[in-house]
C-alpha cells in the first residue's frame, strides 16, 4: 500500500503581513503543500481569507495549494476557487446538500476533490460518495480557529477510515488530518494512517519554523 506522507503547514497561522516570506521559508524547508483555510462566519464562527488572497499566494507558491473551504453551500462558489489556483479543493460534508455534484465539478476541472468531516460527523456520511473522492479530511479540532487541542478520538476514527478504504479497494484516496497537530503527537497521527498532516500554529508560531518543519519531516520519515 502506498504511504507517502506529506506535511502541509496552514497559512492561517502565518504572518498575513508577510505571506510571501512565510511561503518561501516553508518551501525552502521542504514542505509538500500549503494548506489554505477559508472561513465564512456562517459555517464556522470566524472569517479568514478568500479568493484574492488565494490568487496572491498562487503567484508566489511553487508547490500545490490545498484549499479547505469551511463555508456554507460551497458549490455556489467553487468555480472561483478553482480559477484562483486551488490544486486540492475540500468542502465539508455538513455544508453541502449536493455533494456528489460538487465533487464531480471539482474533478472535471482537473483539481483534486476532497471532503472534510467535523469531529462529530460519522464516517458513514461519506459512504456513497467515497469512490468519487481524491481526499478525505478528518478534522481533529472543531473548525474555525487555529491553536486548539487535538481531539484524541480522531486517531481511532482515522484507523477505522483506513480500514474501510482498504476493504473497499480505495487506498489511492489520501487521508488528511487537520487541527492540533504538533511535534509531540505528529508521529501518532502518522502511525494511525494519515497521508497528509496539517500543522498551523505548531509551525508558524514556533520560535524557529524551519527547524520545526525539519523536525516534523524527520518524525514522518520524509527527510
Residues that bind Zn ion (CB under 5 A): 37, 68, 178
List 37, 66, 87, 134, catalytic entry: 37
Q: Is the dihedral of CA 118, 7, 173, 188 positive or negative?
A: negative
CB of 15 to ligand DX5, least distance (A): 14
Reported as type and span, the H/E element at residue 116 is strand 112-117
37: annotated active-site residue = yes
132: annotated active-site residue = no
Residue closer to Zn ion, measured from CB, 190 or 196: 196
Nearest alpha carbon to residue 192 among 218, 222, 161: 161
Distance CA 84, CA 216 (A): 29
The partner in contact with residue 176, picked from Zn ion, ligand DX5, none with C-beta cut-offs of 5 to 8 angstroms by kind, is none
Nearest alpha carbon to residue 125 among 148, 92, 174: 92
CB of 190 to ligand DX5, least distance (A): 15
List 32, 87, 178, 195, catalytic entry: 178
Where along the sequence are the contacts to ligand DX5 (CB under 6 A)? 10, 12-13, 35, 37, 68, 70, 141, 143-148, 178-181, 198-202
Residue closer to Zn ion, measured from CB, 176 or 219: 176
Axis crossing angle, helix 209-219 with helix 19-28, rounded to the nearest 10: 40
Would you please indicate which residues are annotated as catalytic (active-site) residues?
A: 37, 178
Amino acid at each position: 500500500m502506498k504511504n507517502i506522507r506529506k506535511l502541509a503547514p496552514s497559512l492561517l497561522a502565518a504572518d498575513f503581513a508577510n505571506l510571501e516570506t512565510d511561503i518561501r521559508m516553508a518551501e525552502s524547508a521542504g514542505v509538500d503543500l500549503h494548506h489554505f483555510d477559508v472561513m465564512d462566519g456562517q459555517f464556522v464562527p470566524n472569517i479568514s481569507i478568500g479568493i484574492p488572497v488565494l490568487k496572491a499566494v498562487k503567484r508566489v507558491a511553487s508547490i500545490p495549494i490545498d484549499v479547505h473551504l469551511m463555508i456554507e453551500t460551497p458549490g455556489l462558489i467553487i468555480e472561483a476557487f478553482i480559477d484562483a489556483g486551488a490544486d486540492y479543493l475540500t468542502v465539508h460534508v455538513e455544508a453541502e446538500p449536493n455533494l456528489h455534484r460538487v465533487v464531480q465539478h471539482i474533478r472535471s476541472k482537473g483539481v483534486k476533490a476532497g471532503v472534510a468531516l467535523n469531529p462529530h460527523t460519522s464516517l458513514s456520511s461519506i459512504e456513497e460518495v467515497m469512490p468519487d473522492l481524491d481526499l478525505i479530511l478528518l478534522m481533529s479540532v472543531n473548525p474555525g480557529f487555529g491553536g486548539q487541542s487535538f481531539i484524541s478520538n480522531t486517531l481511532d476514527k482515522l484507523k477505522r477510515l483506513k480500514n474501510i478504504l482498504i476493504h473497499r479497494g480505495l487506498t489511492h484516496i489520501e487521508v488528511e488530518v487537520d487541527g492540533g497537530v504538533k511535534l509531540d503527537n505528529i508521529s501518532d497521527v502518522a502511525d494511525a494512517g494519515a497521508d497528509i498532516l496539517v500543522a498551523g500554529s505548531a509551525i508558524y508560531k514556533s520560535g524557529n519554523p524551519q527547524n520545526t518543519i525539519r523536525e516534523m519531516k524527520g518524525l514522518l520519515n520524509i527527510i
